[in-house]
């Protein structure tokens, strides 16, 4: 593919947004589909076992913070870089949040890269300060100053790292997928060099359409990633098994470590919001669930392999994931391009969280 884009200090310069999305995309036109085919269940995904190198692509909010606290310093796991994606709050604040967490828990060795601070087509999307707070980290005060972001762009950093360690690197996508899509545009061949991509997906409950905040941030980027051919695992809807409730917060409060205290300062309001406004029994943590799958893949005991598309044009459904399907005119089963976490043990997930927050 011709490189009709280049990376500059302020991000990507493209030869036209339409050419970008059409050119990156991938493998021809997609036929209209009838959503009639269920996913195929499998007990595990082999490449999730023994992961040693991860790039965390994140839009640091309260749930991303917990995911980072779990991963940074985890035995046997190397965080090659943190790349900052558009998503939860204002972009510069997200960068400050990522630098702050990396400085506290990354021993000054993990580079943080800025990416494109807005979606590929620069369309507006709703921020999520209503749940994450104005700073993205709840009541936690993030000081100014400290080390700057690493030189270079998130997309080229992803390409360079994946190319240096073919077959080893997992991309963990916790925010809008702009950086990952941009890396695939710069070098589509990295799709075949990745160990895999783990994404925070929609509320998969079988065939049909469901919204995901991260794909809604940048639908074109999500579409590029889903059609890239890279191995993909997505979180689904595990309900209470991906939640932390009041008793869990109380247990975390008894740990008295730096990690547990930072978690509580940033997430207590999130718990209150989800219980009082959304009437849930606890706060949902899909970003930490995605991180936990890298630390203990047996948390998930059933995946469903399914075809996942991204709705790009719907007035009310733009950015929604569309799960499953057969071709409308031929009846052909659309091939699966993702394995979705469909069932797991909630206590096992919580145990991974508790162990991480005990590390100090």
Q: Quick: pLDDT tens for 270-294.
A: 999 999 999 999 999 999 999 999 9
Positive or negative torsion for Cα 185, 191, 197, 202: positive
% of the chain at pLDDT higher than 90: 71
DSSP string, 149-197: PPSS-HHHHHHHHHHHSTTTEEEEE-S-SHHHHHHHHH-GGGGGT-SEE
39-357: CATH topology? Inosine-uridine Nucleoside N-ribohydrolase; Chain A (3.90.245)
- Which band of pLDDT confidence, cut at 50, 70 and 90, is reported for residue 141? confident
**With 80 as the cut, is the pLDDT of residue 201 above it?**
yes
**With 80 as the cut, is the pLDDT of residue 8 above it?**
no
**Which residues touch 277 (CB under 8 Å, ≥6 apart)?**
none
Q: What is the pLDDT of residues 308-333, one digit of tens each?
A: 999 999 888 999 998 887 666 676 77
Predicted confidence at residue 345, as pLDDT, reads 82
Say how far apart CA 1 and CA 108 lie, in whole Å: 37
203: enclosing H helix or E strand: none
- Which band of pLDDT confidence, cut at 50, 70 and 90, is reported for residue 147? confident
- Which band of pLDDT confidence, cut at 50, 70 and 90, is reported for residue 22? very low
Say how far apart CA 223 and CA 313 lie, in whole Å: 12
| Helix, coil or strand: residue 328 | coil
SS3 helix, strand, coil % of the chain, rounded to 5? 40, 20, 40
Comparing 178 with 18, the larger pLDDT belongs to: 178
Predicted confidence at residue 161, as pLDDT, reads 98
Lowest pLDDT segment from 193-197, 201-205, 342-346:
201-205
Q: What global pTM score does this model have?
A: 0.89
Q: Which of 202, 155, 205 is nearest to 55 (CA)?
A: 155
Comparing 298 with 144, the larger pLDDT belongs to: 298
**Which residues touch 145 (CB under 8 Å, ≥6 apart)?**
none
The structural domains of the chain, with segments of one domain joined by +, span 39-357
Give yes or no for a contact between 309 and 337, defined as CB atoms under 8 angstroms apart.
Answer: no
**With 60 as the cut, is the pLDDT of residue 29 above it?**
no
Helix 154-164 and helix 178-186, axial crossing angle in degrees, nearest 10:
60
Give yes or no for a contact between 113 and 244, defined as CB atoms under 8 angstroms apart.
Answer: no
Of the CA atoms within 13 Å of residue 105, those in its CB half-sphere come to 27
């Amino acid at each position: 593919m011709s490189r009709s884009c280049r990376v500059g200090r302020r991000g990507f310069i493209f030869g036209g947004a339409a050419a970008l999305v059409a050119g990156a995309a991938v493998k021809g036109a997609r036929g209209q589909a009838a959503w009639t085919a269920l996913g195929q269940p499998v007990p595990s995904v082999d490449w999730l076992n023994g992961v040693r190198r991860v790039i965390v692509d994140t839009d640091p909010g309260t749930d991303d913070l917990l995911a980072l606290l779990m991963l940074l310093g985890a035995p046997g796991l190397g965080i090659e870089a943190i790349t900052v994606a558009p998503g939860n709050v204002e972009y510069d604040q997200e960068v400050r949040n990522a630098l702050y967490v990396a400085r506290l828990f990354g021993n000054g060795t993990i580079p943080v890269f800025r990416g494109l601070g807005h979606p590929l087509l620069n369309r507006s999307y709703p921020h999520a300060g209503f749940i994450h707070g104005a700073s993205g980290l709840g009541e936690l005060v993030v000081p100014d100053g400290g080390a700057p972001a690493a030189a270079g762009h998130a997309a080229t950093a992803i390409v360079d790292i994946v190319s240096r360690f073919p077959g080893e690197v997992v991309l963990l996508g916790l925010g809008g997928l702009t950086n990952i899509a941009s890396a695939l545009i710069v070098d589509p061949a990295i799709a075949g060099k990745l160990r895999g991509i783990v994404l925070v997906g929609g509320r998969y409950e079988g065939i049909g359409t469901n919204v995901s905040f991260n794909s809604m941030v940048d639908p074109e980027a999500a579409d590029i990633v889903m059609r890239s051919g890279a191995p993909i695992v997505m979180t689904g809807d595990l309900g209470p098994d991906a939640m932390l409730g009041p008793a869990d917060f109380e247990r975390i409060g008894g740990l008295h470590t730096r990690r547990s205290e930072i978690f509580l300062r940033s997430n207590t309001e999130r718990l209150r919001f989800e219980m009082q406004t959304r009437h849930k029994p606890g706060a949902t943590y899909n970003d930490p669930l995605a991180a936990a799958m890298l630390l203990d893949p047996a948390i998930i005991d059933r995946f469903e392999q399914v075809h996942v598309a991204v709705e790009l044009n719907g007035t009310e459904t733009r950015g929604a994931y569309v799960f499953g399907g057969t071709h409308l005119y031929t009846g052909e089963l659309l091939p699966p391009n993702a394995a979705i976490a469909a069932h797991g043990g909630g206590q096992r997930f919580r145990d991974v969280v508790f162990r991480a927050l005990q590390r100090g």
